Structure 1
Amino acid sequence: MAGNSSRRGAIRKSGKGNPTAGSGGRVKRGLEGKGPTPKAKDRPYHKAYKTRVQAEKRAQPGARKPRGGDAEWIAGRNPVAEALRAGVPVTAVYVADGTEKDARVREVFAAAAERSVALTEVGRHELDRLTGGAVHQGVAARMPAFEYAHPDDLLDRAAEVGEAPLIVALDSVTDPRNLGAVIRSAAGFGAHGVVIPERRAAGMTASAWKSSAGAAARIPVAQAGNLTRQLKAYQDAGCMVVGLAADGDVDLPDLDLATGPLVLVVGSEGKGLSRLVAETCDQLVSIPMSNAVESLNAGVAASVALYEISRLRG
């Protein structure tokens, strides 16, 4: 109806250039670009964003996170028998159908029965699958994932007993037998725990368990995402960090820091302390040797150092 432009839905015609006259003017703002699409890790409701945030929280020095990994399989008649004899925390023993019951297999059966470990008979192909194709000789054992402590727990353990903390940190020690030997010495000489890096280092495998002679059940072993950062956190908590080095500034018997809160760092079997770890240490200490050419592996060096520190502590 002419002149009835005020009715609902009517469009006021005001001539050329009227921004409401055509659809383009009305939806111009809706057609304007909003910039590049954010990456998945930057979108709050995307799975990648949540994964990134969780990773950043775990990377923080004081963040506590789940420890442990997948279960480990011990394959072969001799390894399984030795693991049971050494007290490795085996949860089940698997035997393939038709396996010959020789003296070693009977020993496995007897040890499993003595420790109340379940015996399960499975097909040979199934055992191949469970052990990842390892040479199992018809016998394998399942060891649960090791429950690592948090590095801060070691300080708490010292505080509970009213002692100055003594912690052993391993810098890229890759031989599980050396790890087990260090854990055994740490337990024997009064340390409050052992710290190992999460990557490029030996973990608590069956071999490490056997080498520790059961000490891994009596002393906590912690993992650190970044060893250098963790050492600095210990320093912030009042600990002195001492690294073992062949060219150390102080001989071990002259270590004045032994009686206070102390972190002893032991380097890898071949290269010793890494550069960043050595620079983080408050002091580098050497073990006096009659022949400068001789060297000690990580397990022996840690044992000697822990004995001397225990003696200096009185």
Structure 2
Amino acid sequence: MAVVEGRNPVIECIKSGKHIDKIMVSNSAKEGSIKKIIAMAKENKIVIQYVDRHKLDEMAQSHSHQGVIACIGDYKYYDIEEIVANVKAKGEEPFIIILDEITDPHNLGSIIRTADAVGAHAVVIPKRRSVDITPVVAKASAGAVEYVPVCKVTNIVNTIKMLKDEGLWIAAADMDGETFYRQNLTGPIGVVIGSEGFGISRLVKQNCDFVVSMPMIGNVTSLNASVAGGILLYEVFRQRLSGK
């Protein structure tokens, strides 16, 4: 069984309407937002179990449960083709984030949090060589994982080709591209973000339509994947709002 850890993630989990088997609350944590969680749980007829804090410590994967853990079913990944079809049916232009081998759960959680903020329609991860949706990811996303569909695919390159067939332009974030704010990032778009250690794989990069980069003048020649992703995704958001 999967769990959601931390006060804000648990609140967002309840608000999203996801099925929750029970919420475990520390006997010593009854102040502030814990009262809100208990009230929301009672309103939604969710079982509340009061336990010793050491029990939560044993269950927690994020090491930051803040006195509350929600027990839920395993995360159910979405189908990317259905996501794109539903977005088009609403008359919207798809905005998809594609992650090439992101293995740090904090990076994945942070990118999902940004994806929610900028209105992205989905985050795509590969089945292999990628972190899954875990309690640590959910905690890092501050609950955004309850709102942003995450799609797990067998092959990133094939998914990119499918998205291109659906009319999306695919941008790769890499060091040898055009400065990102000079590139037109409006319209249906997919943004590929690579891992910190290896960046975007050669085959994935070859199948993208264009490459964008971020100018840097400091001594460190790379950015954290979630930071780079956040900057780029907000530029897409800005251009979509303004029509560039």
For the 8 Å contact 1:87–1:210, the answer to whether it is kept is no
Which residue is equivalent to 1:269?
Answer: 196
Which whole-Å deviations, capped at 9, do the CAs of 1:283-302 have from their partners, x for residues lacking one? 11101223363321111111
Q: Distance in 1 between matches of 2:219 and 2:167?
A: 34
Q: Cα distance, 1:139 vs. partner?
A: 8.3
Q: Distance in 2 between matches of 1:187 and 1:109?
A: 24
Q: Distance in 2 between matches of 1:106 and 1:280?
A: 52
Q: Cα distance, 1:305 vs. partner?
A: 0.6
Q: Cα distance, 1:115 vs. partner?
A: 3.0
Which residue is equivalent to 1:253?
Answer: 181
For the 8 Å contact 1:183–1:212, the answer to whether it is kept is yes
Q: CA RMSD in A?
A: 3.4
Which residue is equivalent to 1:176?
Answer: 105
Q: Which amino acid in 2 is paired with 1:199?
A: R
- CA radius of gyration, larger in: 1
Please state which structure has a larger fraction of its residues in strand: 2
Which residue is equivalent to 2:22?
Answer: 92
Which residue is equivalent to 2:39?
Answer: 114
Query: Helix, strand or coil: the match of 1:233?
Result: helix
TM-score, structure 2 as length reference: 0.77
Q: Which amino acid in 2 is paired with 1:286?
A: S
Instruction: Go from structure 1 to structure 2 and tell me whether the alpha carbon gap of 1:179 and 1:312 turns closer, same or farther (over 3 Å shift).
Output: same
Instruction: Go from structure 1 to structure 2 and tell me whether the alpha carbon gap of 1:81 and 1:190 turns closer, same or farther (over 3 Å shift).
Output: closer
Instruction: Go from structure 1 to structure 2 and tell me whether the alpha carbon gap of 1:275 and 1:157 turns closer, same or farther (over 3 Å shift).
Output: same
Query: Helix, strand or coil: the match of 1:284?
Result: strand
Alignment of 1:279-290 (within 5 A): 279-290=206-217
Confirm whether residue 225 of structure 1 aligns to residue 150 of structure 2.
no
Instruction: Go from structure 1 to structure 2 and tell me whether the alpha carbon gap of 1:286 and 1:109 turns closer, same or farther (over 3 Å shift).
Output: closer
Confirm whether residue 156 of structure 1 aligns to residue 81 of structure 2.
no
2:225 is aligned, of 298, 301, 305, to: 298
How many residues are matched?
A: 228
Q: Distance in 2 between matches of 1:112 and 1:311?
A: 35
Which residue is equivalent to 2:17?
Answer: none
Which whole-Å deviations, capped at 9, do the CAs of 1:127-156 have from their partners, x for residues lacking one? 89x969xx99x9864232112110112312
Q: Which amino acid in 2 is paired with 1:251?
A: T
Q: Which runs of 5+ in 2 are unaligned?
A: 15-19
For the 8 Å contact 1:184–1:216, the answer to whether it is kept is yes
Instruction: Go from structure 1 to structure 2 and tell me whether the alpha carbon gap of 1:83 and 1:191 turns closer, same or farther (over 3 Å shift).
Output: closer
Which residue is equivalent to 1:209?
Answer: 138
Alignment of 1:39-54 (within 5 A): none
Which residue is equivalent to 1:147?
Answer: 76
Q: Which amino acid in 2 is paired with 1:114?
A: A
Q: Which amino acid in 2 is paired with 1:245?
A: D
For the 8 Å contact 1:112–1:119, the answer to whether it is kept is no
Which residue is equivalent to 1:48?
Answer: none
For the 8 Å contact 2:9–2:142, the answer to whether it is kept is no
TM-score, structure 1 as length reference: 0.61
Instruction: Go from structure 1 to structure 2 and tell me whether the alpha carbon gap of 1:178 and 1:157 turns closer, same or farther (over 3 Å shift).
Output: farther
Q: Cα distance, 1:163 vs. partner?
A: 2.4
